Structure 1
Amino acid sequence: MKTWRGFSLVELLVGMAILGVLLAIAMPAFSNWLRNARVRTAAESVQNGLQLARAEAVRRNTTIRFQLVDTTDDSCALSTAGPNWVVSFDPPVGACATPPSDTVAPRIIQSRSGAEGSSATTLTADQSTLVFNSLGRTTGNVVIDVASATGELCLVDGGPIRCLRIMVSLGGQIRMCDLALAVGDAQACT
């Protein structure tokens, strides 16, 4: 005689109900995790662009610009709130879609659209252009804040999102920090 193995319909329904309750509990936490990951992706992208600009300025022994722009097409303009950036020799205004080249103006080295992986974030900077000289230094301190564009408050303000800050010092040091961490923590913005 054969014995049938498996689940009964009642056992299957109870299992699915438990799974549904667990998913309903986990969804808000997963949504916040996803928003935090997008903020981190955008901040790391900007930090990498700044490091590229600094390294290229030292390597080529010339001045290199890191510029925040509103779009990466040929209608681009400099913006202190752009999620897009361009690393180039010359100002890229009106020519951000130009392919990378050492000879064709604006002599773009690299550009990045904010829609590439981190479109639900906002950037707010002190200035739209940062120029690195041949020693890897800048003309002033710059702060770039990265937050979620979906309207949630930062953790430091009582919200669920871990907002990040990128600081560039006069000497060219590029540092990413977390606004919500307490003074004394190595990753805090002090």
Structure 2
Amino acid sequence: MNGQRGITLTELLIVLAVASLALLAVGTYAVPWIAREGLRSAVYDVQTYMQLARIEAISRNRDCRFVIDTSTNRISVLDTAGTTSVGDDILLYESDLPDTVSFARPDSGAAVTLDNVSGSIYQTRFGNDGIVNLGTGMVHMFGGSKYEKVEVFGAGGIRIQKWNGTAWAVGS
């Protein structure tokens, strides 16, 4: 039995304690980081789907709608089929935003100022020339202790802004 080597229970407990502390430290910083990445992803998804609705409207030569449902965190692009009725719209694209993202703004006003279809459903409708026919406005989102917004203009332009603590700023 002499000459056998191994680790003692005390050494094993010390290694486990150090590993637990390291894991706790990483987890403390990872959770807010994941939420911030979820916000960034959601903002770019909203921007992309708005641009997609605009491109589809131009290529199909008829109105297309960008729709956001704030209660389900779902965004979609629909072809209006050339009619004003929403019942015959054709679903082109659909995606869910991360659960870590909510619709809120740090300053006063509504979190979503697009055209309200009903309840928690909002839309922007792009014409066949790429210009917004209905629903210019903003979508404000919160995640990971940060606020960002996507703004759509009448000419079809889309801009992302971040809240710097006192005002909205373009860029990073």
So what's the TM-score if we normalise by structure 1?
Answer: 0.66
Deviation at 1:12, TM superposition (A): 2.7
SS, match of residue 121 in structure 1 = coil
Structure 2: where are the runs of 5+ without partners?
104-110, 115-121
Structure 2 counterparts to residues 52-71 of structure 1, below 5 A: 52-69=52-69
Q: Match for residue 89 of structure 1? A: 79
Structure 2 counterparts to residues 136-147 of structure 1, below 5 A: 136-139=130-133, 141-147=136-142
Q: Match for residue 23 of structure 2? A: 23
Equivalent position to 1:125, from 87, 112, 115: 112
Structure 2 counterparts to residues 71-82 of structure 1, below 5 A: none
SS, match of residue 124 in structure 2 = strand
Q: Deviations over 1:67-89 (max 9, x none)?
A: 1236xxxxxxxxxx652122112
State the identity as a percent.
Answer: 21
Equivalent position to 1:107, from 70, 84, 90: 90
1-structure distance, mates of 2:85, 2:39: 26
Matched-pair contact (CA < 8 Å) for 2:162–2:168: no
Matched to 1:130, the amino acid is T
Residue 183 to residue 120, structure 1, CA distance change in 2 (3 Å): closer
Residue 37 to residue 138, structure 1, CA distance change in 2 (3 Å): same
Matched to 1:180, the amino acid is N
Residue 130 to residue 186, structure 1, CA distance change in 2 (3 Å): closer
2-structure distance, mates of 1:131, 1:8: 70
Deviation at 1:184, TM superposition (A): 10
Q: Deviations over 1:23-49 (max 9, x none)?
A: 223322211112112222222221221
Deviation at 1:142, TM superposition (A): 1.5
Matched to 2:113, the amino acid is D
Output the aligned Cα RMSD: 3.0
Which has more strand, going by share of residues? 2
Matched-pair contact (CA < 8 Å) for 1:82–1:122: no
Q: Match for residue 106 of structure 2? A: none
Matched-pair contact (CA < 8 Å) for 2:69–2:75: yes
2-structure distance, mates of 1:44, 1:82: 18
SS, match of residue 35 in structure 2 = helix
Q: How many residues align?
A: 153
Matched-pair contact (CA < 8 Å) for 1:181–1:187: no
Structure 1: where are the runs of 5+ without partners?
71-80, 96-104, 149-159
Q: Deviations over 1:116-168 (max 9, x none)?
A: xx1232233102110111222214631101113xxxxxxxxxxx512221111
Matched-pair contact (CA < 8 Å) for 1:86–1:92: no
